Amino acid sequence: MRALSLKQPWGLALQNLLQDKLRFALSVVGVALAVMLILFLLGLRAGILRSAIIYFDNAPGSVAVMPAGVKNTSAGISQFLPRETADRVAAEPGVGRVTPILLMMAIPEFHGRKEVIKLIGYDVALGGGPWDVSQGREPQADDEVVLDRVLAARHDFKVGDTFNVAGRQLKVVGLSSGTTSFTGSYVFAQKGLVDSLVLTPGAASMLLVTPMSGTSSAELVATLRSIPDTNVLLKTDLMANEQQLVAGVFDQIVILMVVAAFVVGALVVGMVIYTATNERRGEYGIIKALGARSSVLYRIVGLQAVVSAGLGAGVGVGFAYAMGWLVMTARPQFLVVIGPSAIAITLAAGFVMALLGALFPARAVAGLAPADVFRR
């Protein structure tokens, strides 16, 4: 193989790395695994946050009217808005459409396994139901439901099958796509069915309000805040609240694991570069004796660390995509979203790993006395 010929000291740094190819490969893989873990965890977190708002992202309206004191739905809603509130909202100026939603969390047992479902009761005429019915149709009767297709696939439910929730036999008339959530799959039913299950006829967990043309969402929020016993907020704020709640549950553990992966990555780079540097102490001493300044040695050590970490980070991004694909294929309820910002964060983390990894080796070469070359 023809040797690389790069400007010095870059050429020496690269050749130092390539001289022990196995060690170089192990360092790249070590960093790649750490980066993969970081990026996968960030992607999983992004997926969890994304799935936490997936319903609201597709539901109609830009303003949410909730019962007083309620600012999210993730834990289920035990308070309800009476029918009169919906009528009152509809009568306010600037209101285009009011979509009442009745939400119920349930944990039915399917084939001996408990599943968390979010039962969405909606009015077919007003919207708020499934946005992508990939098979079958929307419910037309009070014993019909549209089931999330991932949940259906997990339990081999098909259109026409039935299952029980709270003593009611429900018939699957459609399967919806994009309705899987880490915190539970969505099941859509006519509002009347959920009314009867939660024993609150005519009530709603929330009202999703669409402003009339010419009225802004903010103006509408201001108008609707005059209605007593409600909490009126922008739908985007509601979505942020949903994500905040989920993040509060998962962030600590995710951050802990990300930090652990980062430390492992930095240690891998550090150990590899330290070992490689230590093995070449004599050569670094020679370079110093020849007349190189310490900055030249820092560049050699630093470049080795940057190349190891940079290549590892690049491979790690690929690994993370592969891991995300594998997880989403094997467990479709997990959404892994690897976005450009996560990649940027991870690559920056890789760079910091390189700097940290180079710190001790650089200190080691800085302390070398060139005169030692002559002392045997």
Partner 1 sequence: MNGKGLHVSHVTKRFGAGETEVVAVRDVSLDVQRGDVVLIMGPSGSGKSTLLLMLGALLKATEGTIALDGLELSALSENKLPDIRLRNFGFIFQDFNLLSALNVQDNVAFAAELTGMGHHAAREKAAKLLTELGLGHRLTFSAEKLSGGEKQRVAIGRALINEPSLILADEPTANLDSKAGHETMLLLRRIAKEQGRSVVIVSHDQRIKDIADRVLWLEDGQFKDMVTMTPDPVCGMAVEREDAVTLTHDGVTYYFCSSGCSWQFAESPERFTNRSVPA
> Which residues are CB-contacts of 314 (< 8 A; sequence separation ≥ 6)?
none
Query: Minimum distance between the CB of residue 287 and partner 1, rounded to whole angstroms?
Result: 8
Query: Minimum distance between the CB of residue 366 and partner 1, rounded to whole angstroms?
Result: 13
Shorter beta-carbon distance to partner 1: residue 23 or 97? 23
Query: Minimum distance between the CB of residue 363 and partner 1, rounded to whole angstroms?
Result: 19
Contact 104, 93 (CB under 8 A): no
Tokens of 59: 């539901």
Shorter beta-carbon distance to partner 1: residue 35 or 307? 307
Contact 280, 244 (CB under 8 A): no
Query: Minimum distance between the CB of residue 288 and partner 1, rounded to whole angstroms?
Result: 8
Instruction: Name the burial class of residue 312, with classes exposed (0-12), middle (13-18) and buried (19+) by CB atoms within 10 angstroms of its CB.
Output: buried
The residue ranges that bind partner 1 (CB under 8 A) are 2-3, 5-9, 11-12, 15-16, 18-19, 280, 282-283, 286-293, 296, 370-371, 373-376
By three-state DSSP, how is residue 129 classified? coil
Query: Minimum distance between the CB of residue 31 and partner 1, rounded to whole angstroms?
Result: 21
Query: Minimum distance between the CB of residue 325 and partner 1, rounded to whole angstroms?
Result: 38
Shorter beta-carbon distance to partner 1: residue 271 or 292? 292
Tokens of 28: 């790249």
Distance CA 298, CA 156 (A): 61
Query: Minimum distance between the CB of residue 351 and partner 1, rounded to whole angstroms?
Result: 24
Shorter beta-carbon distance to partner 1: residue 6 or 263? 6
Helix, strand, coil % in the chain, rounded to nearest 5: 55, 20, 30
In order, the DSSP letters of 145-158 are EEEEHHHHHHTT--
Shorter beta-carbon distance to partner 1: residue 114 or 374? 374
Tokens of 133: 């019915």
Angle CA(28)–CA(32)–CA(35) in degrees, nearest 5?
140
Shorter beta-carbon distance to partner 1: residue 6 or 124? 6
CB atoms within 10 A of CB 214: 8
The residue assigned the tokens 């300044």 is: 293
Shorter beta-carbon distance to partner 1: residue 6 or 259? 6
Shorter beta-carbon distance to partner 1: residue 277 or 346? 277
Shorter beta-carbon distance to partner 1: residue 143 or 283? 283
From residue 18, alpha-carbon distances to 15, 127, 247, 314 in Å are 5, 62, 43, 18
Instruction: Name the burial class of residue 252, with classes exposed (0-12), middle (13-18) and buried (19+) by CB atoms within 10 angstroms of its CB.
Output: exposed
Distance CA 43, CA 63 (A): 29
Query: Minimum distance between the CB of residue 291 and partner 1, rounded to whole angstroms?
Result: 3
What H or E segment, with its residue span, contains residue 170?
A: strand 168-176
Query: Minimum distance between the CB of residue 3 and partner 1, rounded to whole angstroms?
Result: 5
From residue 68, alpha-carbon distances to 78, 82, 228, 245, 246 in Å are 12, 12, 8, 18, 21
Shorter beta-carbon distance to partner 1: residue 259 or 290? 290
Query: Minimum distance between the CB of residue 27 and partner 1, rounded to whole angstroms?
Result: 16
